[in-house]
Protein backbone atom coordinates (compact mmCIF):
# COMPACT_ATOMS: atom_id res chain seq x y z
CA UNK A 1 0.00 0.00 0.00
CA UNK A 2 1.20 3.52 -0.79
CA UNK A 3 1.26 5.81 2.21
CA UNK A 4 0.85 9.56 1.95
CA UNK A 5 3.52 9.86 4.66
CA UNK A 6 6.28 8.66 2.33
CA UNK A 7 7.02 12.01 0.59
CA UNK A 8 7.53 13.67 3.97
CA UNK A 9 9.69 10.78 5.17
CA UNK A 10 11.90 11.14 2.09
CA UNK A 11 12.13 14.92 2.47
CA UNK A 12 13.09 14.68 6.15
CA UNK A 13 15.99 12.41 5.28
CA UNK A 14 17.47 15.02 2.95
CA UNK A 15 17.37 18.26 4.98
CA UNK A 16 20.44 19.70 6.65
CA UNK A 17 20.93 19.52 10.41
CA UNK A 18 20.21 22.53 12.58
CA UNK A 19 22.79 24.01 14.91
CA UNK A 20 21.95 25.07 18.45
CA UNK A 21 21.40 28.81 18.71
CA UNK A 22 24.03 30.70 20.71
CA UNK A 23 21.29 32.80 22.39
CA UNK A 24 19.80 30.04 24.50
CA UNK A 25 21.77 30.68 27.72
CA UNK A 26 20.03 34.03 28.21
CA UNK A 27 16.45 32.95 27.50
CA UNK A 28 15.15 32.55 31.04
CA UNK A 29 11.56 31.33 31.25
CA UNK A 30 9.88 31.59 27.85
CA UNK A 31 6.35 32.17 26.64
CA UNK A 32 5.94 30.49 23.24
CA UNK A 33 3.07 31.88 21.16
CA UNK A 34 1.60 30.66 17.89
CA UNK A 35 -1.62 29.78 16.11
CA UNK A 36 -2.89 26.51 14.62
CA UNK A 37 -0.04 24.21 13.58
CA UNK A 38 2.47 26.64 15.09
CA UNK A 39 0.77 26.51 18.50
CA UNK A 40 0.89 22.71 18.35
CA UNK A 41 4.67 22.96 17.85
CA UNK A 42 4.90 25.39 20.79
CA UNK A 43 3.33 22.80 23.08
CA UNK A 44 6.48 20.68 22.81
CA UNK A 45 8.35 23.28 24.89
CA UNK A 46 6.06 22.92 27.90
CA UNK A 47 7.94 19.79 28.93
CA UNK A 48 10.93 22.04 29.66
CA UNK A 49 9.05 24.39 31.98
CA UNK A 50 8.08 26.97 29.39
CA UNK A 51 4.51 27.91 28.50
CA UNK A 52 2.65 27.69 25.19
CA UNK A 53 -0.19 30.09 24.54
CA UNK A 54 -2.37 31.09 21.62
CA UNK A 55 -0.86 34.17 20.03
CA UNK A 56 -4.30 35.75 19.98
CA UNK A 57 -4.51 35.63 23.78
CA UNK A 58 -1.60 38.03 23.95
CA UNK A 59 -2.28 39.97 20.74
CA UNK A 60 -5.88 40.90 21.41
CA UNK A 61 -5.69 41.39 25.19
CA UNK A 62 -2.18 42.87 25.27
CA UNK A 63 -1.48 41.52 28.75
CA UNK A 64 1.63 39.44 29.34
CA UNK A 65 1.39 36.72 31.98
CA UNK A 66 3.88 37.43 34.79
CA UNK A 67 7.18 35.67 35.20
CA UNK A 68 8.33 35.39 31.58
CA UNK A 69 11.48 37.11 30.42
CA UNK A 70 11.31 36.06 26.77
CA UNK A 71 8.46 35.75 24.27
CA UNK A 72 8.99 33.48 21.27
CA UNK A 73 6.68 33.98 18.30
CA UNK A 74 6.34 30.89 16.11
CA UNK A 75 4.96 31.10 12.56
CA UNK A 76 6.11 29.22 9.47
CA UNK A 77 5.17 32.02 7.07
CA UNK A 78 6.10 34.78 9.49
CA UNK A 79 2.92 36.57 8.43
CA UNK A 80 0.44 35.40 11.07
CA UNK A 81 -1.04 38.67 12.28
CA UNK A 82 -1.77 37.60 15.86
CA UNK A 83 1.75 36.26 16.34
CA UNK A 84 3.32 39.44 14.96
CA UNK A 85 1.14 41.58 17.20
CA UNK A 86 1.95 39.41 20.24
CA UNK A 87 5.68 39.81 19.65
CA UNK A 88 5.28 43.56 19.17
CA UNK A 89 3.33 43.80 22.44
CA UNK A 90 6.02 41.83 24.27
CA UNK A 91 8.77 44.01 22.86
CA UNK A 92 6.90 47.17 23.88
CA UNK A 93 6.61 45.72 27.39
CA UNK A 94 10.39 45.35 27.56
CA UNK A 95 10.60 41.58 27.04
CA UNK A 96 13.16 39.91 24.88
CA UNK A 97 11.55 38.58 21.68
CA UNK A 98 12.56 35.83 19.28
CA UNK A 99 10.94 34.80 16.00
CA UNK A 100 10.90 31.16 14.87
CA UNK A 101 9.99 31.13 11.19
CA UNK A 102 10.99 29.74 7.82
CA UNK A 103 11.23 33.24 6.35
CA UNK A 104 13.98 35.48 7.67
CA UNK A 105 12.68 38.63 5.94
CA UNK A 106 9.08 38.20 7.12
CA UNK A 107 7.16 40.73 9.26
CA UNK A 108 7.54 38.45 12.29
CA UNK A 109 11.31 38.32 11.89
CA UNK A 110 11.43 42.11 11.60
CA UNK A 111 9.30 42.53 14.72
CA UNK A 112 11.53 40.38 16.97
CA UNK A 113 14.96 41.07 18.43
CA UNK A 114 16.38 37.91 16.86
CA UNK A 115 15.31 35.08 14.58
CA UNK A 116 15.76 31.31 14.46
CA UNK A 117 15.19 29.97 10.96
CA UNK A 118 13.25 26.75 10.56
CA UNK A 119 14.63 24.32 7.97
CA UNK A 120 13.10 24.27 4.50
CA UNK A 121 11.32 20.94 3.95
CA UNK A 122 10.37 20.66 0.29
CA UNK A 123 7.36 18.35 -0.06
CA UNK A 124 3.99 18.48 -1.78
CA UNK A 125 1.26 17.86 0.82
CA UNK A 126 -2.52 17.95 0.68
CA UNK A 127 -2.84 17.91 4.49
CA UNK A 128 0.34 19.68 5.63
CA UNK A 129 2.69 18.45 8.34
CA UNK A 130 6.14 19.57 7.14
CA UNK A 131 5.71 23.07 8.54
CA UNK A 132 4.93 21.70 12.00
CA UNK A 133 8.01 19.47 11.91
CA UNK A 134 10.26 22.32 10.77
CA UNK A 135 8.99 24.70 13.46
CA UNK A 136 9.26 22.04 16.16
CA UNK A 137 12.90 21.31 15.33
CA UNK A 138 13.80 25.00 15.19
CA UNK A 139 12.00 25.86 18.45
CA UNK A 140 13.72 23.01 20.28
CA UNK A 141 17.14 24.46 19.49
CA UNK A 142 16.24 27.37 21.76
CA UNK A 143 16.15 24.93 24.67
CA UNK A 144 19.59 23.68 23.70
CA UNK A 145 18.31 20.40 22.29
CA UNK A 146 20.84 18.77 19.98
CA UNK A 147 18.94 18.42 16.70
CA UNK A 148 21.77 16.80 14.76
CA UNK A 149 20.18 13.80 13.10
CA UNK A 150 16.76 14.75 14.45
CA UNK A 151 15.01 15.04 11.08
CA UNK A 152 16.20 11.57 10.11
CA UNK A 153 15.10 10.21 13.50
CA UNK A 154 11.63 11.71 13.00
CA UNK A 155 11.54 10.16 9.53
CA UNK A 156 12.45 6.74 10.93
CA UNK A 157 9.75 6.92 13.61
CA UNK A 158 7.19 8.16 11.07
CA UNK A 159 8.05 5.23 8.80
CA UNK A 160 7.51 2.83 11.70
CA UNK A 161 4.12 4.37 12.40
CA UNK A 162 3.11 4.13 8.75
CA UNK A 163 4.34 0.58 8.25
CA UNK A 164 4.24 -1.39 11.50
CA UNK A 165 0.55 -1.63 12.34
CA UNK A 166 -2.88 -2.03 10.85
CA UNK A 167 -3.66 1.30 9.17
CA UNK A 168 -5.44 3.43 11.74
CA UNK A 169 -8.11 4.60 9.35
CA UNK A 170 -9.19 0.98 8.79
CA UNK A 171 -10.14 0.83 12.48
CA UNK A 172 -12.45 3.84 12.20
CA UNK A 173 -16.23 3.41 12.10
CA UNK A 174 -17.65 2.80 8.63
CA UNK A 175 -19.58 6.07 8.67
CA UNK A 176 -18.33 9.44 9.91
CA UNK A 177 -19.10 10.08 13.59
CA UNK A 178 -20.74 13.24 14.84
CA UNK A 179 -17.52 14.29 16.58
CA UNK A 180 -13.98 13.15 17.38
CA UNK A 181 -11.90 13.39 20.57
CA UNK A 182 -8.12 12.89 20.68
CA UNK A 183 -7.02 11.87 24.20
CA UNK A 184 -3.45 12.24 25.45
CA UNK A 185 -1.19 12.54 28.45
CA UNK A 186 1.48 15.32 28.45
CA UNK A 187 4.01 13.13 26.63
CA UNK A 188 1.90 13.41 23.45
CA UNK A 189 0.01 16.66 24.07
CA UNK A 190 1.52 18.44 21.05
CA UNK A 191 0.72 15.47 18.83
CA UNK A 192 -2.86 15.33 20.11
CA UNK A 193 -3.42 18.99 19.36
CA UNK A 194 -2.00 18.54 15.85
CA UNK A 195 -4.17 15.47 15.18
CA UNK A 196 -7.32 17.39 16.05
CA UNK A 197 -6.33 20.21 13.68
CA UNK A 198 -5.59 17.85 10.81
CA UNK A 199 -8.82 15.86 11.29
CA UNK A 200 -10.80 19.09 11.16
CA UNK A 201 -8.97 20.20 8.00
CA UNK A 202 -9.39 16.88 6.25
CA UNK A 203 -12.94 15.92 7.20
CA UNK A 204 -14.76 19.09 8.24
CA UNK A 205 -15.94 17.28 11.37
CA UNK A 206 -15.82 18.66 14.89
CA UNK A 207 -12.65 17.38 16.57
CA UNK A 208 -10.97 18.30 19.85
CA UNK A 209 -7.87 17.36 21.78
CA UNK A 210 -8.37 16.77 25.49
CA UNK A 211 -6.21 15.65 28.44
CA UNK A 212 -6.85 12.00 29.23
CA UNK A 213 -8.18 12.49 32.74
CA UNK A 214 -10.54 15.30 31.69
CA UNK A 215 -12.10 12.94 29.17
CA UNK A 216 -12.49 10.47 32.00
CA UNK A 217 -14.50 13.02 33.94
CA UNK A 218 -16.79 14.36 31.21
CA UNK A 219 -16.90 12.11 28.14
CA UNK A 220 -19.39 9.70 29.71
CA UNK A 221 -21.95 12.42 28.97
CA UNK A 222 -21.27 12.31 25.22
CA UNK A 223 -24.12 10.43 23.61
CA UNK A 224 -26.24 9.02 22.19
CA UNK A 225 -24.74 10.57 19.03
CA UNK A 226 -21.82 8.66 17.49
CA UNK A 227 -18.38 9.60 18.81
CA UNK A 228 -14.86 8.51 17.87
CA UNK A 229 -12.35 8.55 20.75
CA UNK A 230 -8.70 8.28 19.67
CA UNK A 231 -6.14 7.44 22.36
CA UNK A 232 -2.58 8.50 21.47
CA UNK A 233 -0.45 6.35 23.77
CA UNK A 234 3.24 6.74 24.47
CA UNK A 235 5.30 5.08 27.18
CA UNK A 236 3.39 6.61 30.09
CA UNK A 237 0.00 5.86 31.64
CA UNK A 238 -0.70 2.84 29.47
CA UNK A 239 -2.89 1.10 32.04
CA UNK A 240 -4.90 4.27 32.61
CA UNK A 241 -5.44 4.67 28.87
CA UNK A 242 -6.68 1.08 28.68
CA UNK A 243 -9.11 1.42 31.61
CA UNK A 244 -10.61 4.61 30.25
CA UNK A 245 -10.84 3.18 26.74
CA UNK A 246 -12.84 0.24 28.07
CA UNK A 247 -15.17 2.54 30.01
CA UNK A 248 -15.80 4.78 27.01
CA UNK A 249 -16.40 1.80 24.73
CA UNK A 250 -18.95 0.47 27.23
CA UNK A 251 -20.63 3.87 27.00
CA UNK A 252 -21.03 3.59 23.23
CA UNK A 253 -17.90 5.33 21.95
CA UNK A 254 -15.93 3.93 19.04
CA UNK A 255 -12.48 3.77 20.66
CA UNK A 256 -9.20 3.41 18.76
CA UNK A 257 -5.82 3.29 20.55
CA UNK A 258 -2.76 4.44 18.58
CA UNK A 259 0.58 3.46 20.10
CA UNK A 260 4.05 4.81 19.51
CA UNK A 261 5.52 1.56 18.16
CA UNK A 262 8.67 -0.20 19.31
CA UNK A 263 11.54 0.51 18.78
CA UNK A 264 10.46 4.15 18.32
CA UNK A 265 9.25 4.14 21.93
CA UNK A 266 12.80 3.39 23.02
CA UNK A 267 14.27 6.39 21.21
CA UNK A 268 14.16 10.07 22.09
CA UNK A 269 10.55 10.78 23.09
CA UNK A 270 10.69 14.24 21.49
CA UNK A 271 11.34 12.83 18.02
CA UNK A 272 8.69 10.16 18.61
CA UNK A 273 6.11 12.81 19.49
CA UNK A 274 6.93 14.90 16.42
CA UNK A 275 6.61 11.78 14.29
CA UNK A 276 3.29 10.89 15.92
CA UNK A 277 2.01 14.39 15.17
CA UNK A 278 3.07 14.20 11.53
CA UNK A 279 1.43 10.78 11.29
CA UNK A 280 -1.84 12.50 12.19
CA UNK A 281 -1.79 14.43 8.90
CA UNK A 282 -1.35 11.16 7.00
CA UNK A 283 -4.18 9.53 8.94
CA UNK A 284 -6.43 12.54 8.43
CA UNK A 285 -5.98 12.47 4.67
CA UNK A 286 -6.75 8.76 4.49
CA UNK A 287 -9.73 9.29 6.79
CA UNK A 288 -11.19 11.87 4.42
CA UNK A 289 -10.89 9.35 1.58
CA UNK A 290 -12.45 6.57 3.65
CA UNK A 291 -15.44 8.72 4.59
CA UNK A 292 -15.63 10.44 1.20
CA UNK A 293 -15.17 13.88 2.71
CA UNK A 294 -13.04 16.13 0.46
CA UNK A 295 -10.54 18.28 2.39
CA UNK A 296 -11.67 21.83 3.16
CA UNK A 297 -15.30 20.89 2.44
CA UNK A 298 -14.67 20.43 -1.25
CA UNK A 299 -13.13 23.86 -1.73
CA UNK A 300 -15.99 25.75 -0.09
CA UNK A 301 -13.79 27.10 2.70
CA UNK A 302 -11.86 30.29 1.81
CA UNK A 303 -8.20 29.38 2.21
CA UNK A 304 -6.55 32.71 1.34
CA UNK A 305 -6.20 33.43 5.09
CA UNK A 306 -6.72 37.17 4.67
CA UNK A 307 -8.27 37.24 8.14
CA UNK A 308 -5.18 35.51 9.56
CA UNK A 309 -2.08 36.72 7.74
CA UNK A 310 -0.64 40.14 7.02
CA UNK A 311 -0.35 41.13 3.33
CA UNK A 312 2.65 39.90 1.40
CA UNK A 313 3.47 43.40 0.10
CA UNK A 314 6.69 44.61 1.66
CA UNK A 315 7.28 41.39 3.63
Domain locations in the chain?
Answer: 6-153, 167-296
Q: What is the DSSP string of 262-299?
A: TTGGGS-HHHHHHHHHHHHHHHHHHHHHHTT--HHHHH
pLDDT tens, N- to C-terminus, the chain (315 residues): 345 789 999 999 998 777 655 455 667 889 999 999 999 999 999 999 999 999 999 999 988 999 999 999 999 999 999 999 999 999 999 999 999 999 999 999 999 999 999 998 989 998 999 999 999 999 999 998 889 899 999 999 999 998 876 788 889 999 999 999 999 999 999 999 999 999 999 999 999 999 999 999 999 899 889 999 999 999 899 999 999 999 999 999 999 999 987 655 556 789 999 999 999 999 999 999 999 988 777 667 766 677 778 766 443
CATH number of 167-296: 3.40.50.10490
Instruction: Assign 216 to helix, strand or coil.
Output: helix
pLDDT of the residue at 167? 85
Q: What is the pTM of this model?
A: 0.93
pLDDT at residue 315, rounded to an integer = 37
Rounded CA-CA distance 195/129 in Å is: 10
pLDDT of residue 263: 59
Burial call 174-208: b when 16+ CB within 10 Å, e when fewer: eebbeebbbbbbebbbbbbbbbbbbbebbbbbebe
**Which residues, 6 or more positions from 168, have their beta carbon under 8 angstroms from its beta carbon?**
256, 258, 283, 286
Output the CA–CA distances (angstroms, integers) from residue 281 to 98, 155, 222, in the order listed. Answer: 28, 14, 26
CB–CB of 236/207 below 8 Å? no
pLDDT at position 290:
92
What confidence score (pLDDT) does residue 32 get?
A: 98
Per-residue pLDDT at 228: 97
Instruction: Indicate if 167-296 has the same CATH topology as 6-153.
Output: yes
Question: Under CATH, to which class is 6-153 assigned?
Answer: alpha beta
Residues constituting the chain: 315
Amino acid sequence: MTYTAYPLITALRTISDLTVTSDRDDLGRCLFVGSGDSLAACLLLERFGHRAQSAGDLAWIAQLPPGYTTVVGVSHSGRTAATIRAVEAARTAGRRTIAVTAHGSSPLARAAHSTVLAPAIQVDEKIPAAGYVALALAALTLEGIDTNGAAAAVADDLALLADSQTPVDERWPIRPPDAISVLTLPDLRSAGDFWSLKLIEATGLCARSVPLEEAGHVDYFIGPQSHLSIHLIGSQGIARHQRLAEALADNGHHVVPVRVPSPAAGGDPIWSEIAMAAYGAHVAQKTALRWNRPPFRGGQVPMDARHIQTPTDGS
